[in-house]
Amino acid sequence: MKTPPISIVKSVKFKAKPEATTLGFGKYFTDHMFTAKYSVEKGWHQAEVGPYKSFEIDPGASVLHYGQALFEGMKAFKQENEKVVLFRPEFNWHRMVAGADRLCMEAPPKDLFLNGIKELVKIDQEWIPDQPGSLYIRPTLVGTEAFLGVRPSNEMLFFAILSPVSSYYAEGSAPVNIWVETNYLRAAPGGLGATKAAANYAVSLKAALDAKKKGYSQVLWLDFSREYIEEVGTMNVFFVFENEIVTPSLDGTILGGGVRHSVIQLLKLWNLPISERKLKLSEVLEASKNGKLKEAFGTGTAAVISPIGELATESWKINLTNNGQQGELSKKIYDELTGVQYGRREDKLGWLQPL
């Protein structure tokens, strides 16, 4: 696949940058965006870093009717020496390629994906917040051909936008309370669960809203049998038992997160007993009763490492708050991960890429 050159068009209007304290997550966008187009006839073309702005879309476009939409979430960090780094961007490219295949779309080639994002982050690097903030990068691929017969689109738009962020949850790094969802289902075998398809989020909104009404930050998704643990909305999940750390194995219904993968790498590096395996909800409840459940935490690009304070269903609750503090292991992982990201610790696993 031939990669087109990337043209750069600088914005002439610049937005006021928000105060660090008001950032939250995904509320503000920077001055520029990266876009590239694909058609079956032309291949990838018209690659440009230009002003952030609304784009025109035909009302018959595939993304509006048949949900051909796939995205990634990644981050850029400003280190103490002002050096800007990307965290594992190739991981995100690989995942987008796999997702594009499942959704019958054409993913951008690696160099277009990486170079477009790097040029974009470069031009907007003044937007990167200081620690503990970061620049969230949202690469997105959508079908743009206008037709109504159900089939894959022959035209795509790839774009990346940037948002300066602090914490994903209002709780910051304090423990979040999670509701175990038994009514709705996120994904089943043969579906889209392993991809970062927009469709997976459409199905999840109502469950998250119901959980919020009950006072919970997110839901824990179970598999279609409602027996096995899959993931938390927007995060993968880890349970720290007395002699084993467990995260559900990737069996096709779970989104394999970049932070999930990095945490597994770290735990192996530290010679800790990490298992990727099927995990029953009843096993977690049992371990909690026996005092063998030490910690639970979520992992995600947006949320980083989020300790779980409470896990609740209609019939039971597990309290895991360590006096409101982060658990020992999740704190150690958080410190290492953010230490590498901000350049305070050595990047032993080769996670970082300079611009």
Residues near its own copies (CB under 8 A): 24-27, 29, 33, 52-60, 63-69, 71, 102-104, 136, 138, 140, 142, 146-152, 159, 161, 163, 168, 183-185, 187-192, 197-206, 208-209, 224, 233-234
Q: How far is the CB of 155 from its own copies (least distance, A)?
A: 13
Nearest-angstrom CA–CA distance, 49 and 162: 12
| DSSP-based three-state secondary structure for 15 | coil
Return the number of the residue (63 or 264) whose C-beta is nearest its own copies: 63
Structure tokens, 330: 């999740």
Of 59 and 291, which has the nearer Cβ to its own copies? Answer: 59
Task: Please state the closest distance from residue 287 (CB atom) to its own copies, in A.
Answer: 26
47 vs 161 by CB, closer to its own copies: 161
C-beta of 10 vs 289, nearer to its own copies: 10
Kindly list the distances between the CA atom of residue 339 and the CA atoms of 9, 26, 95, 175, 335, in Å, as whole numbers in the listed order: 35, 23, 25, 20, 6
User: Is the Cβ of residue 86 or residue 208 nearer to its own copies in the bound state?
Assistant: 208
178: tokens are 């999670």
| Closest distance to its own copies from the beta carbon of 219 (Å) | 11
- Spatial neighbors of 211 by CB under 8 A, at least 6 apart, are 178, 179, 181, 217, 218, 219
For its own copies, give the closer residue by CB, 229 or 293.
229
Q: Please, which residues have CB within 8 angstroms of residue 122's CB and are 6 or more apart in sequence?
A: 84, 355
- Nearest approach in angstroms of CB 46 to its own copies is 15
Q: How far is the CB of 38 from its own copies (least distance, A)?
A: 16
Give the integer Cα–Cα distance in Å for 221 and 206: 13
C-beta of 127 vs 241, nearer to its own copies: 127
One-letter amino acid for residue 176 of the chain: V
- In this complex, which beta carbon is closest to its own copies, that of residue 153 or of residue 330? 153
Report in angstroms how near the CB of residue 35 gets to its own copies at its nearest.
Answer: 8
* CA–CA distance, 274 with 249 (Å, rounded to integer): 11
Distance in Å, CB of 100 to its own copies, minimum: 11
Residues 6+ apart with CB under 8 A from 236: 247, 248, 254, 255, 256, 257, 259, 260, 298, 299, 300
Angstrom distance (rounded) from CA 257 to CA 302: 11
Nearest distance from residue 202's CB to its own copies, in Å?
A: 3
Could you tell me which of 53, 54, 50, 52 has the C-alpha nearest to residue 9?
50
Whose Cβ is closer to its own copies: residue 159's or residue 228's?
Answer: 159
Please provide the DSSP assignment of 244-304 as one string: -EEEE---SSS---HHHHHHHHHHHHTT--EEEE--BHHHHHHHHHTT-EEEEEEEETTTE
In whole angstroms, the minimum distance from the beta carbon of 325 to its own copies comes to 25
H/E segment holding residue 172: none
